[in-house]
Amino acid sequence: MKRNSLTPVRCRSRVLTVLRALAFAALAAPLPAPAQAPDTAAGFPPPQIRIVVPFTAGGGTDVIARLVAKYLSEAWKVTVLIDNRVGAGGVVGSQWVTTQKPDGATFLAVASAFAVRAAIDRSVPYDATKDFSGVGQMAVSPSFMVVSLSHGFKSLKDLITYAKNQPGGIIYGSAGVGSTAHFHAAAVAHLAGIKADHVAFRGTPEAVNDALAGRVLYAFAPGPNAIPLAKAGKLQILVTTSPAGARFLPGLPSIAQAGLPGYEGDDWFGVFAPAGTPLAIRERMSKEMARILALPEVRERLFALGAEAVSTGPVEFESMVREYIARMRKLGDEIGIKPE
């Protein structure tokens, strides 16, 4: 076998020379840029965004979502669809969103009824705190007790007196079992000691229509479904669920101010995405929503509907919803609201 012509010493000498050259080159070369995390919002927004509203068209969630969607579409030059997937008090549409890819093409617009249902009904086919990723809040609105003008009530006290004089009790309506409207209405009956039965409707517009017609004694609705009809002289508003309601209708008392202390609360509206949607996508969506909700014309439009623009980020929104669910679960036990 032929030996290598280089002696061991000379071989080591050449290796050292090469290593020194490589080391010098490495020192002389510019340092590489720090590693960058992948841009998980790359490709967002897609050409078409679908915002699922699990409640009927014309309800508060639908009205606010359509307002935001209009400006999103204009700003991003993409198609933004509102998809009303109605059923089971918001469960049908919400569950459908859990089956969609977490890629920023699908979002879920909800009201506080989404969280209330999750609080009282353990049988819903999803976990409201795990199967969705928060995007942000859009608005808050006091809820308003609506009644038919034909009753001629002057106050909540008049309604309570009338209700207690009905041998078979009265009927109130709501946008569905476990909706915030259900909570508001049941709380009034509970605090006033009224014998009452509940009728669950497909959505808020349907419940309001039956209250307007006198087929149910009263119902609660957020500003977008109550204030325009009251201003048009089609129904009467007796009370609101919080003192904030007087900002929209000066002089209107809250439930507590009308003589039934112990209950207060506003409705809220917000947006979720399927669980696992990258935070970068949700933050971009949230920031654009906040920009839209800060526009004077949008704030004025919401105020005219009895709602106030509120913007929060994804993490803050998720935290708020978790706390709200815990609070509503406790309140549901106290009032006695259970799934029907």
Question: pLDDT of 292-330, one tens digit each?
Answer: 999 999 999 999 888 999 999 999 999 999 999 998 898
Dihedral angle, C-alpha 254, 219, 303, 112, nearest 10 °: 90
In sequence order, what DSSP letters do the residues of 284-336 get, joined into one string? Answer: HHHHHHHHHHTSHHHHHHHHHTT-EE----HHHHHHHHHHHHHHHHHHHHHHT
* 272 and 229 belong to one structural domain: no
* 53 and 136 belong to one structural domain: yes
* 134 and 83 belong to one structural domain: yes
Give the CATH number, domain containing residue 200: 3.40.190.10
Does residue 328 lie in a domain region?
Answer: yes
Give the CATH number, domain containing residue 303: 3.40.190.150
Residue 299 backbone phi and psi in degrees, to 5: -60, -40
Does residue 28 lie in a domain region?
Answer: no
Dihedral angle, C-alpha 177, 180, 182, 183, nearest 10 °: 120
The answer to whether 145 and 237 are in contact (CB under 8 A) is: yes
Mean pLDDT (the chain) is 87
pLDDT of residue 121: 87
Does residue 40 lie in a domain region?
Answer: no
Q: Which of 296, 326, 340, 272 is nearest to 118 (CA)?
A: 326
Does residue 23 lie in a domain region?
Answer: no
pLDDT of residue 339: 64
Angstrom distance (rounded) from CA 194 to CA 219? 14
Does residue 39 lie in a domain region?
Answer: no
Does residue 15 lie in a domain region?
Answer: no
Residue 99 clears pLDDT 60, i.e. is over it: yes
Residue 12 clears pLDDT 80, i.e. is over it: no
Of 247, 275, 304, which one is at a domain's C-terminal end? 247
Does residue 103 lie in a domain region?
Answer: yes
To which residue do tokens 């009224």 refer? 194
* 200 and 151 belong to one structural domain: yes
* 240 and 152 belong to one structural domain: yes
Angstrom distance (rounded) from CA 240 to CA 260? 12
Angstrom distance (rounded) from CA 209 to CA 201? 10
- The model's confidence at residue 179, banded by pLDDT at 50, 70 and 90, is confident
Residue span of the structural domain in which 302 resides: 48-140+267-335
* 98 and 148 belong to one structural domain: no
Q: Is the peptide bond between 45 and the residue preceding it cis, with omega within 30 degrees of 0? A: yes
The answer to whether 228 and 305 are in contact (CB under 8 A) is: yes
The answer to whether 50 and 85 are in contact (CB under 8 A) is: no
Residue 39 clears pLDDT 50, i.e. is over it: no
Of 193, 217, 247, which one is at a domain's C-terminal end? 247
Whether the model clears a pTM of 0.75, i.e. scores above it, the answer is yes
* 116 and 131 belong to one structural domain: yes
Angstrom distance (rounded) from CA 78 to CA 171? 46
Residue 150 clears pLDDT 60, i.e. is over it: yes
Burial of 154 (0-12, 13-18, 19+ CB in 10 A): exposed
DSSP state of 148: -
* 113 and 180 belong to one structural domain: no
Angstrom distance (rounded) from CA 255 to CA 156? 8
| CA triple 103-310-282, angle to 5 deg | 15
Of 247, 276, 303, which one is at a domain's C-terminal end? 247
* 130 and 63 belong to one structural domain: yes
Residue 18 clears pLDDT 80, i.e. is over it: no
Provide the β-strand partners of residue 268. 140
Q: Alpha helices, DSSP H only, in 133-215?
A: 156-164, 180-192, 204-212
Does residue 92 lie in a domain region?
Answer: yes
Structural domain total, the chain:
2
pLDDT of residue 73: 98
* 226 and 301 belong to one structural domain: no
* 56 and 121 belong to one structural domain: yes
Q: Which one of 121-125, 141-145, 177-181 scores highest in mean pLDDT?
A: 141-145
* 58 and 116 belong to one structural domain: yes
